[in-house]
Amino acid sequence: MKKATILLGCLILCGLISVVNAQQRHKDPPFMVAMSTEKPLTIDGKLDENDWQRRIFSINFRAKYVPDDGSYSVSGSDLPTRTLVGTKGYSDTSSAALFFLHKGAELYIGLKSTDSSVCKRWGSWEGDGLYIKVKSKAGLEIEYKFMYNSDTTTTRAVLETSANAPSSSAIGASYNFTGTIPNDNASKDKGYSLELNIHLDKLGYTVVDTIPIVVTVMDPDFYTKTEDETTAPAQVQFYKSWWGSEWGASYSKLILGDTPIAEAYATTKAITLDGKLDEPEWNHVPSIVIAPGSKDATGWYYMQWGDTLNTYDDPSTTIVKFLHKGTDLYIGYISNDSSVGNINAYSAGWEADGIDIWMRDKFSIPDKAHRQEIQMIYTSFDTTKTAPLILNTFIPTPTSVEGASYNLPGTVPMSERAGKDRGYSGELVIHGADWGYAAGDTMLMAIIMWDMDHGSPDVTDGTPNHFTDYAKAWWGCEWAEPGPTGFDKYYLYRGVVLSPTQVQAVGEEHQILPLEFSIGQNYPNPFNPSTTISYSLTAESFVSLKVYDVLGQEVASLIQQKEKRGYHEVSFNGNNLSSGVYLYRLEAGSLIATKKMILMK
């Protein structure tokens, strides 16, 4: 295959993931990504584990809330007590932040509220707290009510489930902040927190699925056992806001994202570091996708640079692939960025389009002052340059990393007047032995893809054009937290396994029976419209092989039958599908394997 064809075939331009205008994302997002946890969480209501302390983007339930660059607002709200005679309206402008985490199919929902009047709404089933509706995989609407609906001053939130909820499908705990006395108006409360764990496997889901969900935050105020809407209508208030819809007519989506481990296949051939990814080996390896809404990515951030009229019109997507030769880890990436350059509003060399990697050696945890950083970013304002390799002083040796980048045909960096760019690609090799890694180890790192748009010198970056946008998506963590151990404190790193799986050539014959259950990377990938999926079985099994879109909807069933031990392959034709990322999932008995493939028309 010609080099240009391979490179352009890897681009996914607008088809990977449907992304709405960034400002619309900050207002009523159609989906949220639940970040993965390092280990299962203790459900005590305190939200004090390190995982909760990471930079987790939240949905904020507050009257007239205006979202900032890193937070989101709700779908709607209501003030049911507005018709009461003499009502004050809503004077307790509480703020409640909602967070999502997951460990596999264990979903964790955390809520922190500043509510100054924690109570039950007497005469109804509502109280301060959460009302959640989740659709099971079979389509059943299941309710979880987690509210302060008891009548004592020492009460905690009570978890109730609908009759159709599977037994023991959720557990929850609440925590009253110091100074909070529920159902009492003697003094202002200091708020509360809730921690809910829903066992999604009991609802039929796995980690590859996307969960339809509706979340309502209830906020009754100034109710007591003797003061309610009948006895004190001018005193009590009740406000509620929701993400999705109030009663579940319209569901939002929760993506179980943030892949903690990626796999680097083994190769016996050295990769030529020219940034082009034109070796055939790159076509046969798994990949991760770093982009807004990707199941692989940990997070995404957009900055307006103080210009509220900005709109983010270039939600770039980057495909990252891994190979290894011994302890040499090769990282190949390709981005469809249509505005390649630097931030002209600041200065060349600070942050620019490209890749930024935080590495960690095998035996020590670097503190914030000694982070090991690898960059390949567009630091120059020269329209003919590619992104240079930049290493900070804490890399083991100046030769511990090598790399090169490549401007895809049609890309002119640092120039808006030249028209839309076609993206860029790059190849790195990290010599893992210099970091203490051995064969079979998992190398620890975080990868950030910067995306600076419309900041070139040949355009005006201020009003009335409203140029210069700054966004980034990452796998791992974006930055270190303060403190001597802050760099590793909040589960910064993700792992790349130096796998024993060898890159397979097309048509290679297997002469021996497989020793492990596995599914191979489809070939070709990206594909249009047909591709081949290979897999191995260690025993005769009933096999199910299905294809899903990124929202977890089944789009094709390829195999539903018993098959013998051995190597198998099946063709898939995506002619009736649109361009984008798809998941293919193999089940054989109790064994499950999932990989991604990219259809590019």
In a 3-state reduction of DSSP, which class is residue 152? Answer: coil
Contact indicator for 155, 127 with CB cutoff of 8 Å = no
Q: Is residue 495 domain-resident? A: yes
Q: How many domains does the chain have?
A: 3
Cα separation, 289 vs 262, whole angstroms = 11
Q: Both 250 and 265 in a single domain?
A: no
Rounded to 10 degrees, what is the CA torsion of 16, 445, 69, 100?
80
For residue 5, being part of any structural domain is answered with: no
More confident residue, 50 or 309: 50
Q: Is the pLDDT of residue 173 over 50?
A: yes
Please write down the HEC assignment for all residues of 512-533: CCCCCCEECCCECCCECCEEEE
pLDDT at 344 over 70: no
222 occurs within a structural domain: yes
Highest mean pLDDT among 425-429, 454-458, 577-581: 425-429
Range of the structural domain that residue 108 is part of: 37-256
Give the span between the Cα atoms of 42 and 549, in whole angstroms. 33
Domain C-terminal end among 500, 517, 548: 500
CA-to-CA dists, residue 483 to 147, 359, 360, 415, 487, angstroms: 36, 18, 17, 40, 8
Domain end point (choices 238, 256, 274): 256
In a domain, residue 57? The reply is yes
Q: What is the CATH number of the domain that holds 517?
A: 2.60.40.1930
In a domain, 463, yes or no: yes
State whether 134 and 273 are in the same domain: no
Judgement on whether residues 244 and 265 belong to the same structural domain of the protein = no
- Output the CA torsion sign for 229, 231, 232, 233: positive
Residues 360 and 438 in one domain: yes
CA distance 143 to 133: 5
How many angstroms separate the CA atoms of 496 and 443, rounded? Answer: 5
Q: For residue 563, with 0-12 CB atoms within 10 Å meaning exposed, 13-18 middle and 19 or more buried, which class applies?
A: middle
Which pLDDT score, from 0 to 100, does residue 17 have? 32
Please choose, from the candidates 455, 237, 422, 271, the residue with its C-alpha nearest in 3D space to the C-alpha of residue 334. Answer: 422
Region of 284 (left: φ > 0; alpha: ψ -120 to 50; beta: rest) is alpha
339 and 436, same domain (yes or no): yes
Closest to 456 measured CA to CA, from 465, 444, 443: 465
528/496 same-domain check: no
Query: Among 454-458, 483-487, 491-495, 558-562, whose mean pLDDT is lowest?
Result: 483-487
Question: Model confidence over 212-247: pLDDT tens digits?
Answer: 999 999 999 999 999 999 999 999 999 999 999 988
483 pLDDT more than 60: no
114 lies in the same domain as 206: yes
- Residue indicated by tokens 């179980």: 256
93 and 235 belong to one structural domain: yes
Model confidence pLDDT, tens digit, residues 517-546: 888 888 888 888 988 898 888 778 889 999
* N-to-C CA span, the chain: 17
Distance between CA atoms of residues 440 and 442, nearest Å: 7
More confident residue, 277 or 589: 277
Q: Is residue 14 part of a domain?
A: no
Q: How confident is the model at residue 19 (pLDDT cuts 50, 70, 90)?
A: very low
Same domain, residue pair 203 and 239: yes
Q: Which helix (H) or strand (E) holds 3?
A: helix 3-10
pLDDT of residue 6: 38
Tell me what pLDDT residue 370 has.
Answer: 77
Task: For residues 71 and 176, give the distance between their C-alpha atoms in angstroms, rounded to a whole number.
Answer: 24
The reply to whether 521 and 423 lie within a common domain is no
Residues 252 and 263 placed together within one structural domain of the fold: no
Q: pLDDT category, 461, cuts 50, 70, 90?
A: very low
Which of the residue ranges 290-304, 313-327, 449-463 would you say has the lowest mean pLDDT?
A: 449-463
pLDDT of residue 514: 62
Place of tokens 């960034």: 22
Is the full-model pTM beyond 0.85? no
Indicate the pLDDT class of residue 18, thresholds 50, 70 and 90: very low
Most confident of 51-65, 251-265, 482-496: 251-265
State yes or no: pLDDT of 7 exceeds 70. Answer: no
> Is the residue at 246 inside a domain?
yes
Tens of pLDDT, residues 358-399: 998 888 877 777 788 999 999 888 889 999 999 999 999 999
Strand locations in 326-432 (E): 328-335, 354-360, 372-377, 389-391, 401-407, 424-431
Residue 319 CB partners (closer than 8 Å, separation 6+): 10, 12, 287, 288, 289, 333, 334, 598
**Among 500, 524, 550, which residue terminates a domain?**
500
Residues 334 and 447 occupy one common structural domain: yes
Bridge partners for 502 per DSSP: 266
Q: Give every CB contact of residue 180 below 8 A, 6+ residues apart in sequence.
A: 118, 189, 190, 191, 192
Paired residues of 301 in beta bridges? 472
Q: Determine if residue 304 is left, alpha or beta; phi over 0 gives left, psi from -120 to 50 gives alpha, anything else beta.
A: alpha
Asked whether residue 44 carries a pLDDT value surpassing 80, the answer given is: yes
What digits encode the pLDDT tens for the residues 86-123? 777 888 878 899 999 999 999 999 999 999 999 999 98
| Residue 26 belongs to a domain | no
Domain with residue 301: its CATH number is 2.60.40.1190
Residue with tokens 């011994």: 326
What's the confidence (pLDDT) of residue 366?
A: 74
